[in-house]
């Protein structure tokens, strides 16, 4: 018990600092990309502050998983630094479950509200310039606000979008039969029907990707909690700066790349949204299991020489 108490301080500090650094870097990238859109529209200071606040809350989506990873890495690095105790997974189940639950509530219910407020800001800004309406590209940082439904509402939005698309398709078909359209008129109606169907499929696919992401997000946080545990054990004698740089320059970019890669597969319809998140989660899980087996083996090799010396 004495060895775990001092380990809480670097763990909490690592969590908070990582959260601030990753959020700060993402916000800085946002400002570099969309700064002219924000500061070149003669917006009020309160509107700019609200935009930045909402963006920071949005960037927590990227910062939370890596912050949990750094926290557990530092915590178990401190615990295992001065000896080879046994790896105990069960005592950490409650803590990891709490972090997973918090992450689900954030991604499924809080973040959609943030996006909803972003959409509201967009309409407020456009409403002030009725005579000279802003183009979509001039406020492209609001693109994330297209999907604002929380987890409970997504199924309803998907069903209503699909029903509306089928209804419109039936209307076009009925109009074609009633008016006996031929030639160019028939081709025009067919193109309109195809475009509306394609647009509806695109919206449904995006919503399904969002729902799959909401389901997998807490599992990723849960798995990364234990990945950090085993990384900390394996790097208990590694210099802290080297360890943090390794996580920042290798682990974090790898996680982000995998996430974006499988999201891209889902957007291109190469796999279903649920399949993409399943493959992504399984890769992280298998890597974590590999870290566990390697850490257990390393500890076992340290315990055996001590036992031989005692005998």
pLDDT value at 270 more than 80: yes
- Residue 145 in this model has a pLDDT that exceeds 80: no
22 near 59, Cβ under 8 Å?
yes
Q: Report how far Cα 124 is from the mean position of its chain's Cα atoms.
A: 28
Supply the pLDDT for residue 305.
58
b/e burial code for range 177-197 (CB count within 10 A of at least 16 → b):
eeeebeeeeeeebeeebeebe
Q: What are phi and psi of 191, to 5 degrees?
A: -65, -40
For residues 139 and 144, what is the distance between their CA atoms, to the nearest angstrom? 11
Tell me how far apart the alpha carbons of residues 59 and 65 are, in angstroms, rounded to a whole number. 11
Please give the pLDDT value at position 45.
Answer: 83
Q: Is 144 exposed, middle or buried (0-12, 13-18, 19+ CB in 10 A)?
A: middle
Confidence of residue 148 (pLDDT cuts 50, 70, 90): low
The domain segmentation of the chain, as residue ranges, is: 5-310
Taking the C-alpha atoms of 132, 133, 137 and 139 in order, what is their torsion angle to the nearest 10 degrees? 110
What is the predicted pLDDT for the residue at 7?
Answer: 63
CA distance 40 to 97: 45
Check residue 249 and report its DSSP letter. I
How much is the average pLDDT of 61-75? 96
Tell me what the mean pLDDT of segment 66-95 comes to: 91
Mean pLDDT for the chain overall: 84
DSSP state of 270: S
pLDDT for the residue numbered 182: 78
What does the DSSP 8-state code read for residue 83? S
For residues 184, 189, 193, 199, the Cα torsion angle rounded to the nearest 10 degrees is 70
Give the model's pLDDT for residue 5: 55
pLDDT > 70: what percent of the chain? Answer: 84
Q: What is the mean pLDDT of residues 239-253?
A: 93
Task: Look at residue 155 in the predicted model and tell me its pLDDT.
Answer: 87
Segment 11-27 shows an average pLDDT of: 95
Name the DSSP class of 251. Answer: I
Q: Per-residue pLDDT for 29 more than 60?
A: yes
Tell whether pTM > 0.75. Answer: yes
Please give the pLDDT value at position 68: 97
pLDDT in tens, 111-125: 988 887 776 776 666
Does residue 144 register a pLDDT over 60?
Answer: no
**DSSP character at residue 140:** G
- Write the pLDDT tens digit of every residue in 30-39: 888 777 767 7
Give the C-alpha distances (Å, rounded to integers) separating 121 from 57, 100, 244.
Answer: 15, 30, 38
């Amino acid at each position: 018990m004495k060895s775990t108490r001092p380990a809480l301080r670097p763990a909490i500090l690592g969590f908070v600092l990582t959260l601030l650094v990753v959020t700060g870097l993402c916000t800085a990238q946002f400002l570099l990309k969309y700064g002219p859109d924000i500061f070149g529209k003669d917006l009020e200071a309160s509107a700019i502050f609200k935009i930045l606040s909402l963006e920071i809350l949005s960037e927590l989506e990227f910062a939370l998983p890596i912050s949990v990873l750094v926290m557990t890495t530092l915590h178990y690095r401190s615990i295992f630094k001065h000896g080879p105790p046994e790896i105990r997974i069960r005592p950490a189940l409650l803590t990891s479950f709490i972090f997973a639950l918090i992450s689900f509530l954030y991604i499924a219910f809080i973040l959609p509200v943030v996006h909803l407020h972003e959409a509201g800001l967009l309409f407020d800004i456009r409403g002030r310039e009725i005579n000279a309406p802003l183009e979509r590209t001039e406020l492209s940082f609001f693109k994330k606000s297209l999907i604002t439904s929380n987890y409970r509402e997504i199924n309803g939005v998907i069903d209503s979008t699909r029903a509306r698309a089928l209804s419109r398709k039936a209307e076009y078909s009925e109009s074609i039969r009633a008016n006996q359209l031929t030639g160019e008129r028939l081709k025009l109606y067919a193109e309109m029907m195809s475009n509306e169907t394609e647009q509806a499929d695109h919206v449904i696919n995006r919503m399904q990707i969002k729902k799959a992401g909401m389901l997998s997000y807490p599992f990723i946080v849960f798995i990364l909690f234990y990945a950090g545990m085993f990384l900390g054990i394996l790097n208990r004698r590694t210099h802290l700066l080297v360890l943090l740089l390794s996580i920042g320059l290798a682990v974090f970019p790898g996680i982000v790349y995998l996430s974006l890669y499988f999201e891209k597969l889902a957007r291109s319809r190469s796999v279903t949204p649920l399949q993409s998140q399943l493959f992504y989660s399984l890769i992280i899980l298998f890597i974590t299991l590999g870290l566990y087996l390697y850490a257990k083996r390393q500890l076992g090799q340290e315990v055996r020489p001590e036992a031989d010396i005692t005998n």
